[in-house]
């Protein structure tokens, strides 16, 4: 049994992680602002992680083997957490994102599936004086916020640090808070147009339960450090995704092609946008295939939206 702290963990795969940590016998503490209660038996600290003094006061004398940070988006938040948990944990894991590899915002080598070293947090420039507190700025610079947050933790010297860079997360029906899969299921079921690029390129996905499993594995099994990519096996583009939905709705997708650089539906990319999961496999995690779980995720989305099926 380990004493594990989860920052966030109130919904979707974060809540699944908390439930699975508890089910496997770990002593779990959840930190959030109190909008959602954790499962019974989980310690709950209600505090704003952005308030350093309040966070330190709430932590008191607690010490954890591992901290899993689900909701760190900026280098400022990372710096607060690094100071607050210095001497309180031996290992810190941050949930990061495929967005760190977005070639629209970072210079990356050419290739279909990028490895972790393509974005090295140890060498990434950190700028604390940017308006990270501004929600509009943060939304527009989400990828850079995650890169810089990783960089801050990587340079912390009081604990070992690892980041889990998640692919696009699907599954869970109504729980899926991005609404991206619902966008497709509802539009295809209604016969509405889907905006796509003329040469849509593939990307990678992961099921929300598989991501919870991987975070559980990362927190409790191997003592690796540095970034690790989290994506199921198999590249899919927007047409592959639409075809799986079409098979369940009985309606053929209706496409509208957008100009180069134009705004398309989510998961239609006109740039290379995929990760390699080789490192996680070498460390011992076995991934599923996207093609195996995606039909079930589509069925959940259709049920959740009560979309008419022909």
In order along its 310 residues, the chain shows pLDDT tens digits of 899 999 997 788 889 999 999 999 999 999 999 888 888 999 999 999 999 999 999 999 999 999 999 999 999 999 999 999 999 999 999 999 999 998 778 777 666 789 999 999 999 999 999 999 999 999 999 999 999 999 999 999 999 999 999 999 999 877 887 889 999 999 999 999 999 999 888 999 999 999 999 999 999 988 899 999 999 999 999 999 999 999 999 999 999 999 877 889 989 988 878 899 999 999 999 999 999 999 999 999 999 876 444 4
- The residues spanned by each domain of the chain are 3-305
Which residue stretches of the chain are H helix? 12-23, 52-59, 75-84, 135-140, 142-155, 180-190, 208-220, 238-249, 278-283, 290-305
pTM (global) more than 0.75: yes
Consecutive H or E run containing 45: strand 43-46
- Cα–Cα distance, 183 to 195 (Å, whole number): 11
Determine the Cα–Cα distance for residues 108 and 185; give it in Å rounded to an integer: 32
- pLDDT, tens only, 243-263: 999 999 999 999 999 987 788
Superfamily of domain 3-305: NAD(P)-binding Rossmann-like Domain (3.40.50.720)
211: Cβ–Cβ under 8 A, 6 or more apart, which residues? 13, 164, 166, 169, 230
């Amino acid at each position: 049994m380990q004493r594990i702290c989860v920052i966030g963990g109130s919904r979707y795969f974060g809540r699944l992680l908390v439930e699975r940590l508890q089910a496997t016998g770990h002593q779990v503490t959840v930190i959030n602002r109190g909008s959602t209660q954790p499962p019974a038996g989980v310690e709950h600290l209600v505090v704003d992680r952005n308030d350093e003094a309040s966070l330190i006061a709430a932590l008191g004398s607690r010490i954890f083997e591992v901290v899993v940070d689900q909701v760190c988006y900026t280098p400022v938040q990372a710096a607060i957490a690094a100071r607050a948990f210095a001497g309180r944990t031996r290992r810190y894991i941050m949930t990061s994102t495929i967005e760190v590899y977005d070639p629209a915002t970072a210079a990356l080598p050419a290739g279909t599936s990028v490895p972790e070293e393509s974005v090295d947090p140890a060498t990434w420039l950190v700028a604390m004086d940017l308006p990270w507190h501004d929600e509009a700025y943060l939304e527009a610079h989400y990828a850079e916020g995650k890169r810089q947050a990783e960089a801050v933790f990587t340079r912390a010297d009081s604990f070992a640090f690892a980041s889990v860079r998640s692919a696009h997360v699907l599954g869970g029906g109504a729980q899926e808070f991005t609404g991206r899969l619902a966008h497709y299921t509802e539009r295809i079921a209604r016969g509405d147009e889907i905006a796509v690029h003329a040469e849509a390129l593939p990307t990678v996905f992961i099921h929300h339960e598989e991501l919870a499993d991987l975070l559980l594995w990362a927190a409790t099994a191997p003592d690796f450090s540095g970034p690790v990519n989290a994506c199921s096996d198999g590249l899919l583009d927007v047409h592959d995704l639409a075809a799986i939905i079409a098979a369940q709705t009985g309606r053929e997708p209706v496409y509208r092609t957008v100009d180069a650089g134009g705004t398309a539906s989510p998961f239609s990319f006109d740039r290379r946008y995929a990760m390699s999961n080789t490192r996680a496999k070498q460390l011992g995690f076995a991934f599923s295939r996207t093609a195996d779980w995606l039909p079930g995720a589509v069925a959940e989305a259709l049920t959740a939206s009560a979309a008419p099926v022909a």
